[in-house]
């Protein structure tokens, strides 16, 4: 197509050239030629036509080239007048060609751009890493781990299926004691000896496992699944706890208070949290306390570090001498404290889930709303929840 | 544990306000759960006289009354009660009053054309009972204009504390008073209980028929007969207190035992002596015996339960519930009062087996003060004599109070050591003494004698608790617990670290983390290789939550289906959690698993202008599994992907990930159609599951330096080959053969086409691969490239029987 255009244009120009091959052309003829050429440049509607004009004028046998060749045969005087005229003609034709070429390129680009269009309002697919979610329980465990790691706590774990000994007896729950009934226990079928294993009712058996496996100083947190035979809006038969255990030669209630104050302040991400320690009872700690934190509740929103309501968040105490003895530690030599927090519960408090049951229902609408993005990794340097 | 304020003040001389008392109780470990102050709730209700009551002109069942509420101004009230009549005294509520029984707030209204300015009330409307028959009909001398709560004795606030099981002494109002007195809120009123002088011995013989082995089930038993009692209703003050704490007054004798239970923490039992045949004996129940209890239930007894029996058989279950046959009623004239001591564990066990919760059991299983046995009998006798009259016999007593007092060698520094607070020794001593401890010694160490009512105090730590809870935990100042070392060391084990990474890696692939129950239906467990007897719950919370899960997959698959049923067919879920192969700790494995349902692929789900997402297939699951391994930094050099998996997977559309045949680490693919059907799954679903604990860890190296990176200066080049092989030959073998053909040059092999059909012989397939060659020393010549190509073809052919496609 384009080649054909060039050929046709050349044919047209050749006809004109026959009338301008006279070397002794008058200046008026030069003017005519120039007008003629500039008009052709202007008329060239695409790259190919323009190239044809260039060849006809400035090519080896072009009209302007032919004129330039005549300069050699002229007298110096003639050259003095004709030279600038012919060179001037050449420069102006060249300039016009260049300008026209640029204009054509510009127009071509404009035409292309006006044709190349996407509808940017069309939706793109949501990326995998923004669709995925981390369950609030995992997120909160990561938050808790970050806080306690900074205080030098390691993470210990233990099995969900426990012996009665580790879940109760070693933790100073005497057989038949009413304290056992505070724990609505799931039992597995009895074995040949009539012994029944239990689903651990708390993460505290891992205290025993840890103290029996390693010598003090001990500083661990123990997150994990726990089970109680209970089901209503705030209780599910399976839930999560994190236990803390510190054993050394000096750790006391004053240190326990500090650790828990640091923890609640960091976890709820407020500068100060007012706490209330209430004496309480757990068989495996003595003295024992429950801890309430002050908050305000408006609508469904809970704010910490202000208000007049008290919310119970954890139980704690000094590890009971019997528990230390059960782990082969002399209670006059070693001492320490333990605490236990409901992970699901503090997740609900911090992030405002009204009901515990949906935690375990895997409803994608709930996970999408209350879950966390995979790259929201809690850390103390970046702020736990960003 | 509930009590009223006036009841407390029987034992505690105090000027403290209700708020101060409540706040102190919580502060010293007797957590106040609620305070019910009816006087405040019923303040607007006043005693009023109905002046007139006439038929409503426009309604058969309504009356128009005028009422004097104390100020002499007649108020017009429309009333629907059938018993409303002129001259009666009732209770009136003015407009603006909240009516708890109806959950409405009154306003001035017009009822069938007649204006009504308030309401005459029934007990039910006040939330005080269920008398729906009509408005309250008070005695004629009731003072018009007085607040009804005051008139009715409802102005005694009821406090409920959440009692911890270690404090049997505070199952008594007297015990609570002692704690409050120790906390500085008043003075404990102590009244000695001198023995009652009986007239002659108790004529009812008593025998404790427990052998030496079981003697400790009833260390002490005391009995007394009171003759000639009148067992009418108990006095109003006693009825009011019992009602206030939620007990129903029955008759004076029964009310007295209930009152003693709460007042002194001393449960008692009363038998109607006329209904007791012969003597009473304490013994173990015999097989086949049963008792109709005062609770109206028939209790089948077993041989380790202790009972009190007579010539007719069992009359009472020790420490738990009495029998209906020998119970006291209005006709009772001679009463036997029992005050005994029972073994806490035995009572707890019996109560649990019978499923009976009574106020007596609650106290005996926590430990009733042994020293209260005889004074309790005397106190109860006095109440009987006061209220019912009669004449008492001497008490007949079997056994001895057990030795319960303990001496604790207590260094005062123990408080500082455990609690981190320095308290004056004098203060600590006063606290212990006011709680009933006897403190001897003046130096650094004291000998502390525990009181009989504190079985929970066993050692030094218990005494520290007593001191700090009364002194106030809030006085202990927080002290930093310095971190050991300087820069924090990593605290996670490699598996803990992998658990965290696994969750975020999978969430990063568009999967949502679920947390599903650790227990699943028995049938589901069996389908996934579980359901063993050692993993079945003896007492599941629901029949479908019965077995510890052998796999995460059934829970996730069912969750995906539930989402589909709710209109979300494209669920992509994962879970990282424990699975159970046995009840031993080693039988527990930490796994990661995911399900993708419908079209929930990595790239997205559902239709889209740029192309609809295809139905998920086994390769989506494989990609998830491999991405997980990569993100966990598992050294995958030895990883094999082999066809097939456990029985719950589709045999032809599943694979196993393994490091050798004996080291399987996971599986992926479609569920077996039979399993999918058994789980009620519809639509397509793919899964993977990996045992995180089975994955190899990278070798620990002495350096963190990465291996040297070689970047060749020569252009890589790619050659395509189409092999024709048997359709059952795994493509992976072709890839492996090509990779191994010339290890120095072959840098990668991609399968870019699989084709069966025209042009390929029946039973065969064409596998097209692109082999990337990376020259390392110099640019390859055409001849060299040709030679490598030949080698690749030869090697693939040798390993798989493939030929180049013509």
Convert the pLDDT of each residue in A98-120 to its tens digit: 999 999 999 999 999 999 999 99
Q: Based on the number of CB atoms within 10 Å of its own CB, is A249 exposed (0-12), middle (13-18) or buried (19 or more)?
A: exposed
Average pLDDT over residues B18-29: 96
pLDDT of residue B41: 80
- Within 8 A by CB and 6+ apart from B524, the residues are B547, B549, B554, B558, B678, B679
As a whole-number percent, the residues of chain B with pLDDT over 90 amount to 78
Residue A111 distance to chain B (closest CA, Å)? 26
Query: Any CB–CB contact under 8 A between A122 and chain B?
Result: yes
As a whole-number percent, the residues of chain B with pLDDT over 70 amount to 99
Q: Check A177 against B604: CB less than 8 A apart.
A: no
Quick one: DSSP state of residue B186?
S
- Within 8 A by CB and 6+ apart from B386, the residues are none
* Cβ-based contacts of A225 with chain B (< 8 Å): 518, 577-578
A·B CB contacts under 8 A? 277
Distance CA A223, CA A138 (A): 10
Average pLDDT over residues B560-586: 96
Distance CA B553, CA B575 (A): 9
Distance CA B594, CA B574 (A): 4
* Cβ-based contacts of A238 with chain B (< 8 Å): 517-519
Q: Check A279 against B29: CB less than 8 A apart.
A: yes
Residue A229 distance to chain B (closest CA, Å)? 6
Q: Check B539 against A373: CB less than 8 A apart.
A: no
Q: Check B479 against A255: CB less than 8 A apart.
A: yes
* Cβ-based contacts of B497 with chain A (< 8 Å): none
Q: Check B538 against A150: CB less than 8 A apart.
A: no
Quick one: DSSP state of residue A379?
B
**Which helix (H) or strand (E) covers residue B484, if one does?**
none
- Within 8 A by CB and 6+ apart from B596, the residues are B511, B571, B572, B616, B620, B621, B624, B685, B686, B687
pLDDT tens-digit readout, A163-188: 999 999 999 998 777 677 777 899 99
- The first and second tokens of residue B527, run together, are 């389908």
pLDDT of residue B514: 98
Q: Which of A254, A274, A275 to mutate to test the interface with B (most CBs of B within 10 A)?
A: A254
pLDDT of residue A20: 44
pLDDT tens-digit readout, B168-217: 999 999 999 999 999 999 999 987 888 899 999 999 999 999 999 999 99
Band of residue B487 on the pLDDT scale cut at 50, 70, 90:
low
Positive or negative, the CA dihedral A266, A272, A276, A277 is positive
pLDDT tens-digit readout, B585-614: 999 999 999 999 999 999 999 999 999 999
Q: Using alpha carbons, list the distances in angstroms from residue B275 to A220, A229, B739.
A: 63, 43, 98
Instruction: Decide if B667 contacts B655 (C-beta within 8 A).
Output: yes
Q: Check B512 against A367: CB less than 8 A apart.
A: yes
pLDDT of residue A271: 87
Residue A303 distance to chain B (closest CA, Å)? 23
Residue B694 distance to chain A (closest CA, Å)? 17
Whether a cis peptide bond, with omega within 30° of 0, leads into A217 is yes
Q: How would you classify the pairing of strands B74-79 and B63-68?
A: antiparallel
Could you give the ipTM of this predicted complex? 0.87
Distance CA B430, CA A302 (A): 42
Q: Which of B352, B509, B537 sits opposite A128 (nearest CB)?
A: B509
Q: Which of B481, B506, B545 to mutate to test the interface with A (most CBs of A within 10 A)?
A: B481
Torsion angle of C-alpha atoms B85, B86, B88, B90, degrees rounded to 10: 70
Residue A221 phi, psi dihedral angles, 5° rounding? -115, 155
Distance CA A21, CA A114 (A): 45
Q: How far is CA B213 from the centre of its chain?
A: 37
Residues 220-279 of A with CB under 8 A from B: 225, 227, 229-231, 237-238, 246, 251-255, 257-259, 261, 276-279
Residue A21, pLDDT > 50, answer no
pLDDT tens-digit readout, A38-65: 999 999 988 899 999 999 999 998 888 8
pLDDT of residue A19: 42
Q: What is the pTM of this model?
A: 0.86
Q: Which of A181, A182, A362 to mutate to test the interface with B (most CBs of B within 10 A)?
A: A362
* Cβ-based contacts of B568 with chain A (< 8 Å): 364-365
**Which helix (H) or strand (E) covers residue A386, if one does?**
none
Q: Check B479 against A176: CB less than 8 A apart.
A: no
Q: Based on the number of CB atoms within 10 Å of its own CB, is A361 exposed (0-12), middle (13-18) or buried (19 or more)?
A: middle
Residue A22, pLDDT > 80, answer no
Query: Any CB–CB contact under 8 A between A338 and chain B?
Result: no
Band of residue B377 on the pLDDT scale cut at 50, 70, 90:
very high
Q: Check B534 against A191: CB less than 8 A apart.
A: yes
Residue A34 distance to chain B (closest CA, Å)? 54
Residue with tokens 């007085």: B146
Average pLDDT over residues A126-136: 96
Closest residue of chain B to A122, computed from CA coordinates: B609
Q: Which of B498, B508, B558 to mutate to test the interface with A (most CBs of A within 10 A)?
A: B508
The rounded mean pLDDT for chain B is 93
Query: Any CB–CB contact under 8 A between A157 and chain B?
Result: yes
Closest residue of chain A to B420, computed from CA coordinates: A254
* Cβ-based contacts of B462 with chain A (< 8 Å): 286
pLDDT tens-digit readout, B282-308: 999 999 999 999 999 999 999 999 999
Q: Which of A128, A174, A280 sits opposite B508 (nearest CB)?
A: A128
Residue A26, pLDDT > 90, answer no
Residue A263 distance to chain B (closest CA, Å)? 12
pLDDT of residue A5: 57
Average pLDDT over residues A27-43: 87
Average pLDDT over residues B423-430: 96
Q: Check B164 against A238: CB less than 8 A apart.
A: no
Residue B486, pLDDT > 70, answer no
Residue B777, pLDDT > 90, answer no
pLDDT tens-digit readout, A266-291: 999 988 888 999 999 999 999 999 99
As a whole-number percent, the residues of chain A with pLDDT over 90 amount to 65
Q: Check B503 against A286: CB less than 8 A apart.
A: no
Distance CA B480, CA A246 (A): 13
Q: Where are the alpha helices (DSSP H) in A59-167?
A: 63-70, 76-115, 128-131, 136-150, 164-167
pLDDT of residue A25: 63
Distance CA B636, CA B649 (A): 24
Q: Check A253 against B418: CB less than 8 A apart.
A: yes
pLDDT tens-digit readout, B71-110: 888 889 998 888 888 889 999 998 888 888 788 888 888 8
- The first and second tokens of residue A241, run together, are 């706890």
pLDDT of residue B130: 62
Q: Where are the alpha helices (DSSP H) in A116-202?
A: 128-131, 136-150, 164-167, 178-182
Residue A41 distance to chain B (closest CA, Å)? 46
Residue A122 distance to chain B (closest CA, Å)? 8
- Beta-bridged to residue A304, according to DSSP, are A295
pLDDT of residue A17: 46
Query: Any CB–CB contact under 8 A between A371 and chain B?
Result: yes
* Cβ-based contacts of B349 with chain A (< 8 Å): 176
Q: Check B488 against A152: CB less than 8 A apart.
A: yes
Average pLDDT over residues B407-432: 97
pLDDT of residue A303: 85
Average pLDDT over residues B537-541: 92
Closest CA to B435 of B448, B423, B444: B448
Distance CA B213, CA B200 (A): 33
Residue A146, pLDDT > 90, answer yes
Residue A136 distance to chain B (closest CA, Å)? 9
């Amino acid at each position: 197509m384009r080649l054909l255009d060039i050929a046709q244009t050349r044919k047209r120009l050749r006809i004109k050239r026959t009338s301008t091959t006279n070397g002794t052309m008058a200046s008026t003829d030069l003017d005519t030629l120039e007008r003629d050429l500039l008009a052709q440049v202007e008329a060239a509607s695409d790259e190919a036509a323009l190239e044809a004009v260039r060849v006809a004028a400035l090519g080896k046998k072009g009209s302007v080239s032919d004129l330039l060749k005549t300069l050699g045969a002229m007298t110096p005087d003639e050259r003095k007048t004709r030279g600038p005229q012919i060179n001037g003609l050449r420069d102006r034709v060249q300039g016009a060609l260049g300008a026209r070429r640029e204009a054509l390129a510009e127009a071509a680009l404009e035409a292309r751009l006006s044709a190349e269009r996407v509808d940017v309002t069309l939706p793109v697919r949501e990326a995998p890493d923004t669709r995925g979610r981390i369950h609030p329980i995992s997120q909160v465990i990561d938050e808790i781990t970050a806080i306690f790691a900074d205080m030098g706590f390691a993470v210990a774990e233990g099995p969900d299926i426990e012996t009665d000994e580790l879940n109760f007896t070693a933790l100073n729950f005497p057989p038949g004691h009413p304290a056992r009934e505070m724990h609505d226990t799931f039992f597995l079928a009895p074995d040949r000896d009539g012994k029944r294993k239990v689903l651990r009712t708390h993460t505290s058996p891992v205290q025993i496992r840890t103290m029996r496996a390693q010598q003090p100083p001990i500083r661990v947190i123990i997150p994990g699944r726990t089970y109680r035979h209970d089901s209503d809006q705030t209780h599910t038969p399976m839930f999560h706890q994190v236990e803390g255990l510190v054993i050394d030669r000096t750790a006391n209630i004053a240190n326990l208070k500090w650790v828990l104050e640091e923890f609640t302040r960091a976890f709820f991400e407020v500068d100060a949290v007012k706490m209330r320690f209430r004496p309480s009872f757990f068989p495996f700690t003595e003295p024992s306390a429950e801890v309430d934190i002050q908050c305000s509740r408006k609508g469904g929103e809970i704010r910490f570090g202000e208000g007049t309501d008290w919310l119970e968040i954890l139980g704690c105490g000094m590890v009971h001498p019997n528990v230390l003895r059960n782990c082969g530690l002399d209670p006059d030599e070693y001492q320490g404290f333990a605490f236990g927090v409901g992970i699901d519960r503090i997740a609900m408090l911090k992030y405002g889930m009204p009901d515990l049951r949906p935690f375990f229902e895997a409803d994608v609408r709930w996970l999408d709303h209350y879950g966390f993005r995979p790259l929201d990794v809690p850390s103390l340097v970046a702020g736990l929840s960003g | 544990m509930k009590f009223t304020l006036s009841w407390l003040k029987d034992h505690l001389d105090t000027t403290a306000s209700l708020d101060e008392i409540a706040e102190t109780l919580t502060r010293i470990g007797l957590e106040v759960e609620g305070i019910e102050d009816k006087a405040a709730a019923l303040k607007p209700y006043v005693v009023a006289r109905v002046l007139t009551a006439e038929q409503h002109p426009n309604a058969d069942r309504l009356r128009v009354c005028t009422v004097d509420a104390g100020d002499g101004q007649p108020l017009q009230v429309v009333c629907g009660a059938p018993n409303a009549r002129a001259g009666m005294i009732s209770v009136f509520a003015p407009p603006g009053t909240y009516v708890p029984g109806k959950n409405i707030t009154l306003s001035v209204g017009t009822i069938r054309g007649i204006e009504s300015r308030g309401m005459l009330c029934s007990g039910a409307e006040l939330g005080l009972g269920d008398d729906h028959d009509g408005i309250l009909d008070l005695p004629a001398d009731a003072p018009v204009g007085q607040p009804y709560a005051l008139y009715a004795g409802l102005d005694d606030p009821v406090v409920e504390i959440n009692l911890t099981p270690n404090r049997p002494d505070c199952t008594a109002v007297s015990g609570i008073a002692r704690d409050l007195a120790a906390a500085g809120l008043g003075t404990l009123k102590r009244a000695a209980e001198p023995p009652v002088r009986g007239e002659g011995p108790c004529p009812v013989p008593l025998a404790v028929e427990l052998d030496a082995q079981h003697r400790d089930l009833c260390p002490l038993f005391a009995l007394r007969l009171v003759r000639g009692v009148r067992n009418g209703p108990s006095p109003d003050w006693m009825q009011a207190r019992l009602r206030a704490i939620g007990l129903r007054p029955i008759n004076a004798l029964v009310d007295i035992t209930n009152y003693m239970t709460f007042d002194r923490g001393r449960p008692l039992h009363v038998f109607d002596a006329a209904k007791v045949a012969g003597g009473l004996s304490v013994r173990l129940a015999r097989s086949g015996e049963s008792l109709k209890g005062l609770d109206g239930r028939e209790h089948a007894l077993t041989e380790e339960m202790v009972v009190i029996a007579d010539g007719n058989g069992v009359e009472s279950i020790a420490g738990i519930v009495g029998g209906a046959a020998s119970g006291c009623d209005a006709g009772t004239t001679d009463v036997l009062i029992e005050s005994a001591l029972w073994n806490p564990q035995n009572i707890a066990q019996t109560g649990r087996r019978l499923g009976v919760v009574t106020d007596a059991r609650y106290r005996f299983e926590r430990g009733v003060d042994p020293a209260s046995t005889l004074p309790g009998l005397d106190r109860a006798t006095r109440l009987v004599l006061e209220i019912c009259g009669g004449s008492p016999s001497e008490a007949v007593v079997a056994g001895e109070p057990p030795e319960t007092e303990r001496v604790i060698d207590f260094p005062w520094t123990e408080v500082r050591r455990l609690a981190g607070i320095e308290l004056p020794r004098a203060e600590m001593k006063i606290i212990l003494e006011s709680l009933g401890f006897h403190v001897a010694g003046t130096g650094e160490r004291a000998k502390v004698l525990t009181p009989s009512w504190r079985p929970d105090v066993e050692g030094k730590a218990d005494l520290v608790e007593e001191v700090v809870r009364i002194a106030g935990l809030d006085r202990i100042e927080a002290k930093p617990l310095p971190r050991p070392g300087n820069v924090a060391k990593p605290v996670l084990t490699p598996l803990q670290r992998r658990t965290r990474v696994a969750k975020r890696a999978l969430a990063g692939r568009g999967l949502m983390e679920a947390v599903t129950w650790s227990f699943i239906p028995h049938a589901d467990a069996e389908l996934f290789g579980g359901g063993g007897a050692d993993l079945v719950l003896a007492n599941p919370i629901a029949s479908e939550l019965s077995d510890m899960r052998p796999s995460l997959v059934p829970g996730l698959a069912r969750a995906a289906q539930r989402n589909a049923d709710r209109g979300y067919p494209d669920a992509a879920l994962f879970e990282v959690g424990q699975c159970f192969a046995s009840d031993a700790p080693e039988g527990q494995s930490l796994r990661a698993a995911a399900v993708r349902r419908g079209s929930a692929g990595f790239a997205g789900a559902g239709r889209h202008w740029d192309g609809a997402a295809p139905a998920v297939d086994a390769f989506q699951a494989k990609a998830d599994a491999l991405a997980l391994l990569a993100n966990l930094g598992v050294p995958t050099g030895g990883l094999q992907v082999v066809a097939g998996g456990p029985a719950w997977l589709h045999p032809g559309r599943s694979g196993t990930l393994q490091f050798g045949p004996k080291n399987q680490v996971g599986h992926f693919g479609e569920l077996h159609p039979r399993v999918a059907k058994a789980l009620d799954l519809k639509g397509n679903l793919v899964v993977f599951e990996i045992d995180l604990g089975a994955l190899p860890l990278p070798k620990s190296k002495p350096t963190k330096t990465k291996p040297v990176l070689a970047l060749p200066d020569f252009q890589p080049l790619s050659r395509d080959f189409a092999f024709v092989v048997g359709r059952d030959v795994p493509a992976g073998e072709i890839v492996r053969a090509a990779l191994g053909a010339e290890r120095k040059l072959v840098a990668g092999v991609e399968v870019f086409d699989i084709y069966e059909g025209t042009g390929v012989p029946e039973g065969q397939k064409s596998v097209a691969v692109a082999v990337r060659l990376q020259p390392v020393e110099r640019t390859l010549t055409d001849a060299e490239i040709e030679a490598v190509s030949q080698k690749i073809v030869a090697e693939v052919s040798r390993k798989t029987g493939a030929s180049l496609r013509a």
